[in-house]
A and B are shown apart, each in its own frame.
Chain A
Amino acid sequence: QQQVKQSPQSLIVQKGGISIINCAYENTAFDYFPWYQQFPGKGPALLIAIRPDVSEKKEGRFTISFNKSAKQFSLHIMDSQPGDSATYFCARARAGSYQLTFGKGTKLSVIP
C-alpha cells in the first residue's frame, strides 16, 4: 500500500508565526492532494486541495506548495492563531479514484 509520509508528528508555534507541515509520497500516479483539518471530537473537514499541474494554491492564510520533482507537498499556515490548533492530515488519490490515503497526521498547537 502506497503511503504518504507526513511530518512532523506534532508542532508548537507561537501566535502570529508560520506553521509548516510536510508530506512526501512515493508514486507519481496521483493527481489530487487534499489537506484535512480535524478538531478534537469532530470529523475531519476539507481545508484545501491541490493538483500537481500547479505549484502553489492559496486560500486565505493557508497555502499548499507542491514540488513534483521532489514528490513533496507542504501546508503553510501564515499568521497562525490559537483557533488553528487542530490535527492536520495530508492525503492523496488517483484521478477518478474514491480512495483517499491519509498521512498519519500532525497535531498543531498555537500558543498565545
Chain B
Amino acid sequence: NAGVTQTPKFQVLKTGQSMTLQCAQDMNHEYMSWYRQDPGMGLRLIHYSVGAGITDQGEVPNGYNVSRSTTEDFPLRLLSAAPSQTSVYFCASSYGGNNDGYTFGSGTRLTVV
C-alpha cells in the first residue's frame, strides 16, 4: 500500500517555465488537495477536489491549475513559474473529508530561479 505518491521529489525551474507536479493515491480516496508550505507560513491550500471531475480553489490558487480525471490522480500544473512559487508542495487525500483526517505525500521541493 503506497499511500500518496508525489513526483518528483525535487525540481529546479527557470522563471517562465511550466511543469506538472504529479500526485497519485491508491487508497480509493474521494478527496484530494494540494498545499504549499513556506517557512513561518504553515500549510496553505492551493486547490482541492471532492471527486473525479470536480475541483475548486483554495486559499492561494493563482498561478496553478488542477484537473481530476480519475479518482487516483490529481496533478498540479504551474503554467509560468515565478520565484514566488518556490516552496514545498504537498498532496493530501482523505476518504471521508475532514472526519477521517488527511494522508499527506512526502512532498515536492520546488525552486524557481
Q: Which residue of A lies closest to B50 (CB)?
A: A98
CA distance A34 to B35 in the complex (A): 16
Comparing B12-20, B67-75, B79-87, B103-111, the segment that makes contact with chain A is B103-111
> How far, in Å, is A53 (CB) from chain B's closest CB?
14
* CB neighbours of A46 from chain B (8 A): 101-103
Q: Which residue of B lies closest to A95 (CB)?
A: B98
CB proximity to B under 8 Å, residues A57-112: 89, 93, 96-105
CA distance A79 to B35 in the complex (A): 32
CA distance A41 to B31 in the complex (A): 24
CB proximity to A under 8 Å, residues B23-59: 31, 33, 35, 40-45, 48, 50, 58-59
A98 touching B42, Cβ below 8 Å: no
CA distance A9 to B42 in the complex (A): 11
CA distance A98 to B31 in the complex (A): 8
Partner of B97 from A41, A44, A97 at Cβ < 8 Å:
A97
Partner of B102 from A6, A97, A100 at Cβ < 8 Å:
A100
- Residues of A within 8 A of B (CB-CB), count: 24
Interface centre among B41, B92, B101, B106 (most CB of A within 10 A): B101
A102 touching B50, Cβ below 8 Å: no
* CB neighbours of A93 from chain B (8 A): 98
CA distance A9 to B40 in the complex (A): 8
A99 touching B45, Cβ below 8 Å: yes
A42 touching B106, Cβ below 8 Å: yes
A104-B41, A104-B42 are known contacts. Are A41 and B106 too (CB-CB below 8 A)? yes
Q: Which residue of A lies closest to B101 (CB)?
A: A46
CA distance A79 to B103 in the complex (A): 27
B97 touching A96, Cβ below 8 Å: yes
> How far, in Å, is A106 (CB) from chain B's closest CB?
10
Chain A residues near B (Cβ < 8 Å): 1, 6, 9, 32, 34, 41-46, 49, 89, 93, 96-105
Given contacts A43-B4, A98-B98, A99-B48, 12 further A-B contacts (CB under 8 A): A9-B40, A41-B106, A41-B107, A42-B106, A42-B107, A44-B104, A97-B97, A97-B98, A98-B31, A98-B97, A104-B40, A105-B40
